[in-house]
């Protein structure tokens, strides 16, 4: 079955500390991978995406993600978080031949001052 797992429902990080949000997927086809961020009461904003090529992808706001096919993972990282990064983060998987995305349940990031 196709699925996306974000194992951490909540993560609390001190401001200035590094961050890694986990995403694991199960998908039969060659995946397209996405990370989105959602601030409270807002729509989703695309952070970065992987379609092909270099497995380390740079995104907006200083985020990056690494596609590891052998581990079926696409973890999101940031070297130093800012209070404005507090939000919910969603991982999603799709395929070239499919109009739909499979979504993770989201990880809520809390920043400690």
Partner 1 sequence: SQTIHQWPATLVQPVGSPLSLECTVEGTSNPNLYWYRQAAGRGLQLLFYSVGIGQISSEVPQNLSASRPQDRQFILSSKKLLLSDSGFYLCAWTKETGRGQETQYFGPGTRLLVL
Q: Which residues bind partner 1 (CB under 8 A)?
A: 32, 34, 36, 41-46, 49, 90, 94-101, 103-106
Distance CA 44, CA 75 (A): 18
Host H or E run for residue 112: strand 107-112
CB of 98 to partner 1, least distance (A): 6
* Residue 108: count of CB within 10 angstroms of its CB: 15
Q: In the complex with partner 1, which residue's Cβ is closer, 39 or 84?
A: 39
81 versus 107: smaller Cβ distance to partner 1:
107
Smallest gap from residue 46 Cβ to partner 1 (A): 6
- Give the nearer residue to partner 1 in terms of CB position, either 43 or 113: 43
Could you tell me the smallest distance in angstroms from the CB atom of residue 16 to partner 1? 28
60: three-class secondary structure by DSSP: helix
Q: If DSSP codes are grouped into helix, strand and coil, which group holds residue 21?
A: strand
Q: Which helix (H) or strand (E) holds 2?
A: none
Instruction: Report the residue number, 3 or 84, with the smaller CB distance to partner 1.
Output: 3
């Amino acid at each position: 079955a196709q699925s996306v797992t974000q194992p951490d429902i909540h993560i609390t990080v001190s401001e200035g500390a590094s961050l890694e949000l986990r995403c694991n997927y199960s998908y039969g086809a060659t995946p397209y991978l996405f990370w989105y961020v959602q601030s409270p009461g807002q729509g989703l904003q695309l952070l970065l995406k992987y379609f092909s090529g270099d497995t380390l992808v740079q995104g907006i706001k200083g985020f990056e993600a690494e596609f590891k096919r052998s581990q079926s993972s696409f973890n999101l990282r940031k070297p130093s978080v800012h209070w404005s990064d507090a939000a919910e983060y969603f991982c999603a998987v799709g395929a070239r031949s499919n109009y739909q995305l499979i979504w993770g349940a989201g990880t809520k990031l809390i920043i400690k001052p």
